[in-house]
Amino acid sequence: MKGGDKMDLVQSVLYGFSVSLEPTNLAACFAGVLIGTLVGVLPGIGSVVTMSLLFPVTYTMSATTSLIMLAGIYYGAMYGGSTTSILVNVPGEAASVVTCLDGHQMARRGRAGPALGIAAFGSFIAGTFGVVGIMLLAPPLASIALRFGPPEIFGLLILGFTMVTFLARGSKLKAAAMAILGLFLGTVGLDPIVGTPRFTFRSVTLMDGLGLVPLIMGLFGVAEVLLNIEQGLQQGVFETRIKGLLPTRQDWKDSAGPVARGSLLGFFLGILPGMGTIIPSFISYGVERRISKHPEKFGAGAIEGVAGPESANNAATAGSMIPLLTLGIPPNVVMAVLLGAFLVHGVQPGPLLMKEHPEIFWGVITSMYVGNAMLLVLNLPLIGLWVQLLKVPYGILFPLILLFCVIGAYSVSGNIWDIITMLAFGVVGYLMKKFQYDPVPLLLAFVLGRMAEESLRQSLLLSRGSLMIFLWRPLSGAFLLSALVLILLPFVVPRVKAAFRMVNQRNQP
């Protein structure tokens, strides 16, 4: 294979399959989707934490194999999460919250089988659509991204931070504070340009900066366990005989539209920073209810309410790979973990990835297709097993989760202080959840902080101190303008609406 640029799409895809179907990679993919489904089924363990827990295991693998496995955990968890939502009315994964609404009602009416079936088929179709979408969209995007200089990257990052803040749960001001704090935490360690130690307090550990894995495990793993210990996680499987997983002809007729719309919506929304998989599933549910001829059926067991959101969250997992693979910018926390996995293996994802490491790029993408097929085959017959797993009490699970977090944090660099960092951020994350501060902006800003600082300082050096460089360059100007529009939107929209109302009232006799 001579360079990625000479390969056309078909050849690249075939090459990708030749990589993802190698026995080692196939096994890694299988392990990934199996573990993913498992943690997806179990409430209280998310895909983010699992991926960071398995991070140390992937050190000994090749970059391609470890990324195939980690990606498998992510989309596998989306499949598993829906099972718990439908059977227990508790989302196994945050992205399946909305599936509880109609999925569980279907189960209560003796239609658990078709609900689980359509969730799996919808996910498969959407996942497949997403993979094709990546194949078509990523190459042109990467070639545009190749022309980005420091000002464009800085503009794009500012737009990304604005969107993440804008889409965060709860108060936007609190989210902004967390994003700035995250950027600030990213400056701990050696200065990226001249190498001066910053905020290290003479600690050798802090010279390397705060570790990504301890930070993620603390904020998302330990914090979650602490909250669950405090509040007591309620569990209770809905006892029902699951029969006939295949949806009927009428079910398919009702679901075809929602699956198609959910796939499209999920994929394109997933590309945007801060979207994650939860928002697309909610939007899909809202759209389906609005355009349905029987909106009253929603919430009472409408299959459309399962098919749409489940497709949307799976398509979004594929969409969110695009910014990471083509720009090197993770749009959500899971992608931040994947970025960490790339960097551990000394590979920088971004516009050059396709040329320099075609085996990783195409191998991982095609493995997602293989993984989706495995999930479909794996999931339907194994549902009985997953139901049994749901009966494992949380009291047995949480000590194991904590143990894995501690050892996982330690094994990254064999440093006890990484465990302390993780525990400290566990307490911080717990308090953040209590006081309704969203940890997502903090983490994404932390991950991208170094890139933002480098691009800002390089741009200023280029322009000899003129900030106008960000406005004169058309692309960075457009990014910054979009960010400004987003910031002003919440202030402007209510006033415009009020003005319209006044005009209307005046015009009416």
The residues of the shown chain that bind other proteins, judged by CB under 8 A, are 56-57, 60, 171, 173-174, 176-177, 180-181, 183-184, 187, 191, 193-194, 196, 198-199, 222, 225-227, 229-232, 395-396, 398-400, 402-403, 406-408, 410-411, 414, 416, 419-420, 423, 426-427, 430, 433-437, 452-453, 456-457, 460-461, 464-467
Q: What is the 3-state secondary structure (H, E, C) of 344-364?
A: HCCCCCCCCHHHHCHHHHHHH
CB of 162 within 8 A of CB of 483? yes
CB-nearer residue toward other proteins: 97 or 226:
226
Nearer residue to other proteins within complex by CB, 295 or 494: 494
State the CB neighbour count (10 A cutoff) for residue 62. 16
Tokens of residue 355, six digits: 């040329």
- Decide whether 236 or 399 has the Cβ nearer to other proteins: 399
Pick between residue 182 and residue 270 the one whose CB is nearest to other proteins: 182
Of 256 and 420, the one with the shorter C-beta distance to other proteins is 420
Write down the least CB distance from residue 460 to other proteins, Å.
5
Closest to other proteins by CB, 381 vs 414, is 414
Contact between 39 and 94 under an 8 Å Cβ cutoff? The reply is no
Vertex 174: Cα angle to 169 and 178 (nearest 5):
95
Say which residues have a Cβ less than 8 Å from residue 493's Cβ, sequence separation at least 6: none
Residues 6+ apart with CB under 8 A from 238: 87, 88, 89, 104, 107, 108, 112
Q: Which is nearer to other proteins, 18 or 62 (CB)?
A: 62
DSSP 202: T
121 or 161: CB nearest other proteins = 161
Is 304 within 8 Å of 288 (Cβ atoms)?
A: yes
Instruction: Answer whether 303's CB lies under 8 Å from 254's CB.
Output: yes
For the bound state, the minimum distance from the C-beta of residue 445 to other proteins, rounded and expressed in Å, comes to 10
Q: Which DSSP helix (H) or strand (E) runs through 247?
A: none
Least distance CB 69 / other proteins (angstroms): 12
Shortest reach from residue 434's CB to other proteins, in Å: 5
CA distance 209 to 212: 9
- Complex with other proteins: residue 348 or 466, whichever CB lies closer: 466
Contact between residue 69 and residue 368 where contact means Cβ atoms under 8 Å apart: no
CB of 431: closest distance to other proteins in angstroms? 8
- CB count within 10 Å of CB 175 equals 23
- How many residues make up the chain in this entry? 509
Beta carbon of residue 463, minimum distance to other proteins (angstroms, whole number)? 8
Report the nearest approach of other proteins to the CB of residue 209 (Å): 13
Cβ-count burial of 333 within 10 angstroms (0-12 exposed, 13-18 middle, 19+ buried)? Answer: buried
Using DSSP's 3-state secondary structure scheme, residue 203 falls into: coil
- Which lies closer to other proteins via its Cβ, residue 196 or residue 508? 196
Residue 189, helix vs strand vs coil: strand
Identity of the amino acid at 20: S
**197 beta partners:** 190
Which one, 245 or 402, has the nearer CB to other proteins?
402
CA 350 → CA 108, 140, 206, 339, 412, distances in Å?
A: 47, 13, 27, 10, 24
Taking each continuous run of H as one helix and of E as one strand, the counts in the chain are 24, 2
Q: How far is the CB of 417 from other proteins (least distance, A)?
A: 9
**Nearest Cα to Cα of residue 315 among 283, 350, 356, 346:** 283
